[in-house]
A = this chain, B = another copy of it.
């Protein structure tokens, strides 16, 4: 066993020092009859060479953003990841360390988290950001719970534009605390309609996704007014953090909590996880925030340093009264995102967002001009939008696949009322010629 150093001699020496006759004896406290009297029924150990071969074979049976031209987004996005991120995030000092409980030997992780918090404040237009939550869906659920604590109310008004999975997770989380959810429907242009009607004085928060699941860019300011009118908290969530570099910040538009998924910032899609949930809020609400926070301080000799702080909110101190049960979070994904934002920087990130938008506008312009295809939703979009296709969406996807394209998400389960339609996303990875091919095959013409 190459992972375990013990030789038989070592074992003997140690048993002797302990005063135990045998390894078996170390488990004397486990009642005889409860011990497993057989080897576990698992495949026998394999060598590194064999395990890698087995995993390669499995991996090769998956399609991925490297094997096809990729237009599938819907909450998980194929963006380019600069090589420096893998090189740095794989450094053992980052990857094989624990949560930075001991600041003297964890300043690397702590300073990086502080930098992340700072940049997320800048992007969300809010004063406090935590050090990650599991993913965008649980971050949104945590935001709702936070709003319920802040308002001591239990009603949540949910935009129909929130990602369906996020809505499901929200239901799962709220169920235990008697939170009730009412959903504001989608208007004809794709934006959330009739929010105002749903909000009342029992409403803890309004949850709006920006951009909406089907791509529409929502009117955050209007939602803020609707929420504020009843003393409710406005939560703006996003499943595409890059949109923060494109749109005015949620904070600036009146959101009290901004949360969501930051996988787009240098985290591989990896079949949906590990990704990176984030949550930012107004300074006044910091003590109700879930998740870890890193703060600046000084050491015994007055030198600047960083520590985990305000932990009285957390489970290991506050236990059943904690703001959340989260312990292990998404540290290394946060580090990747911090490196990503440092590389892209103040100008690069905005330019990237604009490029993503321009690709989508180009694709939409082709769709508009292509008989058989349609853009059923009129609202402006960022880099993702709905395309109505001739005949069943499944058939369109299959045609695209034959042409080496993963064309998008079949909306039949999510928005049947739109007829056969796909949710299509264009990031910087989508080359013009791929977009051209996509439009041709969706329209039923040969690639």
Residues of A at the B interface (CB closer than 8 Å) are 2, 48-49, 52, 56, 66, 80, 82-83, 87, 90-92, 343, 428-429
**Cβ distance A108 to chain B, nearest Cβ, rounded Å:** 14
Nearest Cβ in chain B — how far from A83, in angstroms? 7
**Complex contacts, A52 vs chain B, CB 8 Å:** 83
Contact residues in B for A2 (Cβ distance below 8 Å): 343
CA distance A92 to B87 in the complex (A): 9
Nearest-neighbor residue (CB-CB) of A49 within chain B: B80
Can you give 14 contacting A-B residue pairs, CB < 8 Å?
Answer: A2-B343, A48-B80, A48-B82, A48-B83, A49-B80, A49-B428, A49-B429, A52-B83, A56-B66, A87-B90, A87-B92, A90-B90, A91-B91, A91-B92
Query: How many angstroms between the C-alpha atoms of A343 and B233 in the bound complex?
Result: 58
CA distance A87 to B92 in the complex (A): 9
Please, which residues of chain B bring their CB within 8 A of the CB of A56?
66
> How far is B82's CA from A168's CA once the two chains are assembled, in angstroms?
43
The CA-CA distance from A101 to B306 in the complex, in Å, is 37
Q: Which residues of B contact A82 (CB under 8 A)?
A: 48
Residue of B with least CB distance to A83: B48
Q: How far is the CB of A426 from chain B (nearest CB, A)?
A: 14
A367 to B6, CA, bound (A): 43
Chain B residues contacting A80 (CB-CB under 8 Å) are 48-49
Which residue of chain B has its CB nearest to the CB of A88?
B92
**Beta-carbon nearest neighbor of A428 in chain B:** B49
B-side contacts of A91, CB under 8 Å: 91-92
Closest 10 CB pairs of A and B: A49-B80, A48-B82, A48-B83, A49-B428, A87-B90, A49-B429, A91-B91, A48-B80, A52-B83, A87-B92
Q: How far is the CA of A92 from the CA of B89 in the complex (A)?
A: 12
Docked complex Cα distance between A87 and B90 (Å):
8
Chain B neighbourhood of A428, CB < 8 A: 49
A80 CA to B52 CA in the complex, in Å? 10
**Smallest CB-CB separation from A51: which chain B residue?**
B83
Give chain B residues whose Cβ lies under 8 Å from the Cβ of A343.
2
What is the bound-complex CA distance between A428 and B47, given in angstroms? Answer: 11
- Report how far A90 CA is from B83 CA in the complex, Å: 13
Chain B residues with CB under 8 Å of A83's CB are: 48, 52
Residues of chain B within 8 A (CB-CB) of A87 are 90, 92
CA distance A92 to B428 in the complex (A): 30
The answer for the CA separation of A343 and B343 in the assembled complex, in Å, is 36
Shortest CB–CB separation between residue A70 and chain B, in angstroms? 13
Question: A63: shortest Cβ distance to chain B, in Å?
Answer: 16
Q: Which residue of B lies closest to A86 (CB)?
A: B90
Complex CA–CA separation, A2 to B83 (angstroms): 13
Closest-by-CB residue of B relative to A90 is B87
The distance from the CB of A67 to the nearest CB of chain B, in whole angstroms, is: 11
How far, in Å, is A372 (CB) from chain B's closest CB?
31
Alpha-carbon distance between A80 and B49 when the two chains are bound, in angstroms: 7
A428 CA / B50 CA spacing, docked (Å)? 11
The docked-state distance in angstroms from the alpha carbon of A133 to that of B301 is 50
Smallest CB gap from A431: residue in B: B53
Given the complex, which residues of B lie within 8 Å of A92, measured CB to CB?
A: 87, 91
A90: chain B residues at CB < 8 Å are 87, 90
Cα(A429)–Cα(B48), bound, Å: 12
Cα distance, A191 to B343, chains bound together (Å): 59
Given contacts A2-B343, A49-B428, 12 further A-B contacts (CB under 8 A): A48-B80, A48-B82, A48-B83, A49-B80, A49-B429, A52-B83, A56-B66, A87-B90, A87-B92, A90-B90, A91-B91, A91-B92
Closest to A91 in B: B91
| Alpha-carbon separation in the docked complex, A80 to B428 (Å) | 36
> In the assembled complex, how far is the CB of residue A373 from the closest CB belonging to chain B, in whole angstroms?
28
CB neighbours (8 Å) of A429 from chain B are: 49
Distance to closest chain B CB from A61 (angstroms):
16
Closest beta carbon of chain B to A48's beta carbon, Å: 6
